[in-house]
Structure 1
Amino acid sequence: MAILVTGGAGYIGAHVVRALERAGLDSVVVDDLSSGHRDFVRPEVPFIDLSILDTKGLVEQLSRHRIDAVIHLAGFKYAGVSVERPVHTWQQNVGGTLSLLEAMAELGIGAIVFSSSAAVYGTTDIDLVTEDTPTGPESPYGESKLVGEWMIRDQAVATGLRHTSLRYFNVVGSGEPDLYDSSPHNLFPLVIRALSRGERPRINGTDYPTPDGTCVRDYVHVADLAEAHVTAVRRLLDGDELEPVYNLGSGDGVSVRQIMQAVATATGVDFEPEEADRRPGDPARIVASGERATRDLDWKMRHTLDDMVASAWRARPGDATA
């Protein structure tokens, strides 16, 4: 039995591969390294340098490695940039998922866990987002993730494909000393890079209607997220019925200022963050419930905010710029 992990050389994907290994499950990674890192994948794990847009290549490789199920994380993940590059975003995310589903259908591979996004909800004034909260994506990235869910759902109706989609917000921390978030846009790596360069991290907006005036967001540890993906794929392989979507939420948000304070504590660097104006479109609070995932996927917040920050700091690359 082997599980294909698309995007398995990326920050989240590499953690999923390590979690599969701990669970005693064999994995195969396909990644075109457009944002992933080859050294995130251990030598003993089969690695395929391939774009998932290459349907013919996917069919050949999935057949060669006798794939039984797929965890699909590959995609263009930058919501803000997707507004500037909508065609590229749709091509990579919608086209890539379509190509993957075509290859799976040709080979009769009957189970998929889709890494979706809480970006499908858009801006909402609901205190706690659930799976029943209406979707309203506000970027091509969020739209592409929602369309991906729809395509998988429709394929399931047509072929009996077993599936579930996992929606989550901000993934942080590190579960392995050699795996780190190299995103040029995410808060944690931005703060770490700034401190490593002797600069002051920035808070965008301090006048929101929140307890300390800064945005409140849902942060989850990457290792906890990876375990949920593994539980989901195992249940699908066992023939269990899962909900079509799950929120992997904390149920309790953290403010940007709280993160800055936790970073100062974890790093021992005493700093006062730079304060800037709000960014357009940033809602005051977005937090999701994870109750449904707790019920079906053993979803738990096993790491505290201090754990998240400390692990991210320990795993930072040497120059904090990679």
Structure 2
Amino acid sequence: MNVLVVGGAGYIGSHMVKMLRAEGHQAVVFDNLSGGYRDAVLGAELVEADLADRAALDAVFASRSFDAVMHFASFIQVGESVQLPDKYYRNNVANTLNLLDAMVAHGVERFIFSSTAAIFGEPEQVPIDERQPSRPLNPYGRSKAMVEQILEDYARAFGLRYTCLRYFNAAGADLDGQLGERHEPETHLIPLILQVASGYRDHIAVYGRDYPTPDGTCIRDYIHVVDLCSAHLLALQRLQHGGDSDCFNLGNGAGFSVQEVIDSARRISGQPIEVRDAPRRAGDPARLVADPAKARAVLEWIPRHAELDTIIETAWRWECRMRQTSS
């Protein structure tokens, strides 16, 4: 298949491009490089442009024949979305509408959307399955939920077929060490911990040790980025073979606590990793874990790198490479 990967120079998108090419598909990356990196586009064509530029989108679709679009180009910081909701609605919603309208205009019918567990807000029960109501607590989660609703309407009106993949916590790095997680600023727990191990930061903060969990720290569901991309590939193949539009929660189905992540990072890195305790953050649930049963049954998806030490080990190799490169 010939796939347009929007946001393909970013963390998950770049891993997806590598996997697509390894599986014999053609990939074209559309990215404004605001959060991505030119050197993360391994061998694929890069179109440097913005989703707000409808003319640039039309030019890409007019000059090539695409079988599908994968969309990774969203802003993802929850705290920033509260402070700058306009930024999140403009990019995550309005710019996605630009992309969908260009697809409809050029007859491209298959769409894979990078969604999020944040659409659920405070879950009614854990693990979280697809039947739970969407009650997002912040503009980031609301922007993703809005796009999911838009996709339902576009499917009915224009024949678009889509798959929404709701991530829990993407983590880890390319198994070959070529790609990894690079965010500025970094907000994700595992790379922050490993930056302490590498000496780039002096400590990691643990926000609360009084949660109703075995060790008192929050539990989250971490999914290796390669396993995440494999779910995208299976979703793409399902649409290619006539599958209906649908949504899937993607996680390992087993969570790890903040303390367990720190302990694993200490084992893998061999570094002490200074920890400083801090008060709870508002809105942090004690436990967020996916129920991936639907993805396993319908997509026949099996996470193959689910062990915490494996996730940390690949991320640590990438962190070491980044520090060597910058020194």
With the shorter chain as reference, the TM-score category is over 0.9
Query: Residue 23 of structure 2 corresponds to which residue in structure 1?
Result: 23
C-alpha separation in 2, matches of 1:63 and 1:298: 34
Q: Residue 192 of structure 2 is aligned with which of 170, 190, 193?
A: 190
C-alpha separation in 2, matches of 1:102 and 1:321: 41
Query: Residue 230 of structure 1 corresponds to which residue in structure 2?
Result: 233
Q: Give 1:302 shift.
A: 1.0
Query: Would you say the 8 A contact 2:265–2:312 is kept in 1?
Result: yes
Query: Residue 313 of structure 1 corresponds to which residue in structure 2?
Result: 316
Q: What are the Cα deviations for residues 96-147 of structure 1, in whole angstroms up to 9, with x where unaligned?
A: 1100011001100010011100000012241210000111101111000011
Q: Give 1:17 shift.
A: 0.7
Identity of aligned residues (%): 41
Query: Residue 138 of structure 1 corresponds to which residue in structure 2?
Result: 137
Q: Residue 216 of structure 2 is aligned with which of 206, 213, 216?
A: 213
Report 1:110-125 matches (<5 A).
110-125=109-124
Query: Residue 14 of structure 1 corresponds to which residue in structure 2?
Result: 14
C-alpha separation in 2, matches of 1:214 and 1:132: 27
Report 1:259-278 matches (<5 A).
259-278=261-280
C-alpha separation in 1, matches of 2:130 and 2:303: 18
User: Any gaps of 5 or more consecutive residues in structure 2?
Assistant: none
Q: What are the Cα deviations for residues 12-59 of structure 1, in whole angstroms up to 9, with x where unaligned?
A: 0001111111211111100001100110002x3111001111112101
Query: Would you say the 8 A contact 1:196–1:320 is kept in 2?
Result: no
SS of residue in 1 equivalent to 2:69: strand
Q: Give 1:319 shift.
A: 2.7
Query: Residue 174 of structure 1 corresponds to which residue in structure 2?
Result: 173
Q: More displaced, 274-283 or 84-93?
A: 274-283
SS of residue in 2 equivalent to 1:158: helix
Query: Would you say the 8 A contact 1:215–1:283 is kept in 2?
Result: yes
SS of residue in 2 equivalent to 1:315: helix
Q: Residue 260 of structure 2 is aligned with which of 251, 258, 261?
A: 258
TM-score (norm 2): 0.94
Query: Would you say the 8 A contact 1:193–1:320 is kept in 2?
Result: no
SS of residue in 2 equivalent to 1:4: strand
Amino acid aligned to 2:260: Q
CA 1:321–1:203: 2 relative to 1, 3 Å = farther
CA 1:320–1:120: 2 relative to 1, 3 Å = farther
Query: Residue 98 of structure 2 corresponds to which residue in structure 1?
Result: 99
C-alpha separation in 1, matches of 2:151 and 2:55: 20
Query: Would you say the 8 A contact 1:193–1:321 is kept in 2?
Result: no
Amino acid aligned to 2:84: R
Query: Would you say the 8 A contact 1:167–1:246 is kept in 2?
Result: yes
C-alpha separation in 1, matches of 2:165 and 2:196: 31
Amino acid aligned to 1:319: R
2:38 is equivalent to residue 38 of structure 1: yes
C-alpha separation in 2, matches of 1:215 and 1:125: 17
C-alpha separation in 2, matches of 1:318 and 1:53: 31
Query: Would you say the 8 A contact 2:71–2:112 is kept in 1?
Result: yes
Query: Residue 292 of structure 1 corresponds to which residue in structure 2?
Result: 294
Amino acid aligned to 1:96: N
Query: Would you say the 8 A contact 1:177–1:314 is kept in 2?
Result: yes
Amino acid aligned to 1:292: K
Q: Give 1:234 shift.
A: 1.6
Q: Give 1:189 shift.
A: 1.5
Amino acid aligned to 2:28: V
C-alpha separation in 2, matches of 1:125 and 1:57: 43
C-alpha separation in 2, matches of 1:12 and 1:48: 17
C-alpha separation in 2, matches of 1:115 and 1:321: 30
Q: More displaced, 84-93 or 189-198?
A: 189-198
SS of residue in 1 equivalent to 2:163: strand
C-alpha separation in 1, matches of 2:273 and 2:189: 16
Amino acid aligned to 2:27: S
2:271 is equivalent to residue 280 of structure 1: no
Q: More displaced, 197-206 or 24-33?
A: 197-206
C-alpha separation in 2, matches of 1:118 and 1:306: 23
Alignment coverage as a number of residue pairs: 320
